Structure formats: C-alpha cells, structure tokens
C-alpha cells in the first residue's frame, strides 16, 4: 500500500495532465478570489478604483479575471527591445500602466510567445502587438529590431 512503507509512486504519464489541472485550478481560484474581492466593494468603490487606474468599472472586472501573470509577456517584450522594464516603470509609470493594460487584454499572446522564443519579437512586434504604437513612441530613437 502506498504511504505505509514510505514508498511513493510516481506516474510520469499522468504528471503533465495533473500539472495542467493544478494550473487551471490555481488560475480559477485567483480569478474567483478577485471577483469576490470586488464583489465586497460597493459600486462606488469599484468605480473610484477603476477611475484611479484610468479604466472603466467593466474593464477593471475584465482585467482582474485575466490573472496575475497576464502582462508577463510585456516584460519579456521590453527586454527584447533593449529596455529595462523596471527603469521604464519608474521613468514613465503612466505609459507602463497603459502598456500593461493592453498586454493583459491582448488576443495575440501565442504569437508573442512564439516570437519571443524565436528571438524575432523585436523585429516583428508590429505585426501582432497592440502596444506597437506606444513602444515605437517610447523607443523612437532606436532602430527597429535592435
């Protein structure tokens, strides 16, 4: 019997499936937690928070449902473009917030991940990135693909 003699059984063929399920549950719990936290706020408090963030109340709910890592590709894109995300956040927090908001809502994450992994994101981001215009404005002195 497993556990009685200190032995642990592993199931290598099931591990990827179990990890995927665990990841889904974690994302669901996070999203449900944010919805619940916002549910405890009155409409006026949600509206005030949304206004402070520069978004509508509906957009705040949509952003919250995307989860804590929804803008992670932005950090990688900035690095691919030769920028330091931490420095940009300090130098231009408003632009950083807008970049994050668009990245969170982006429908091209698969292509973005592919381009970043292939090392071609800095060259091709204009083809898919909703932040291309802002990134160009921020880095106008840099040649494309640099």
Predicted confidence (pLDDT) per residue in 39-96, tens digit: 677 788 888 878 877 778 888 877 777 777 888 999 999 999 999 999 999 998 888 9
pLDDT for 31? 55
Q: What is the pLDDT of residue 146?
A: 45
Contact yes or no for 145/132 (Cβ under 8 A) = no
pLDDT band at 24 (very low <50, low <70, confident <90, very high): low
Residue spans per domain, the chain: 12-68, 70-146
The predicted structure's pLDDT at residue 110: 95
Flag whether pLDDT at 20 surpasses 80: no
Instruction: Give the pLDDT mean for 3-23.
Output: 65
- pLDDT exceeds 70 at position 100: yes
Residue written as token pair 């970049």:
99
Q: What pLDDT is stored for residue 145 in this prediction?
A: 46
CA 46 to chain centre: 21
């Amino acid at each position: 019997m497993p556990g009685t003699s200190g032995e642990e059984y592993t199931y290598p063929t099931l591990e990827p499936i179990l990890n995927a399920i665990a990841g889904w549950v974690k994302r669901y719990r996070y999203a449900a937690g944010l919805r619940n936290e916002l549910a405890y706020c009155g409409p006026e408090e949600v509206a005030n928070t949304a206004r402070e963030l520069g978004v509508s109340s509906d957009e705040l709910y949509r952003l919250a449902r995307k989860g804590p890592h929804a803008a992670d590709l932005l950090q990688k894109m900035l690095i691919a473009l030769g920028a330091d995300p931490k420095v940009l956040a300090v130098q231009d927090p408003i632009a950083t917030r807008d970049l994050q908001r668009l990245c969170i809502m982006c429908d091209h994450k698969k292509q973005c991940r592919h381009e970043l992994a292939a090392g071609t994101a800095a060259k091709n981001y204009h083809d898919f990135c909703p932040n291309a215009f802002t990134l160009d404005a921020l880095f106008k002195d840099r040649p494309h693909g640099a």
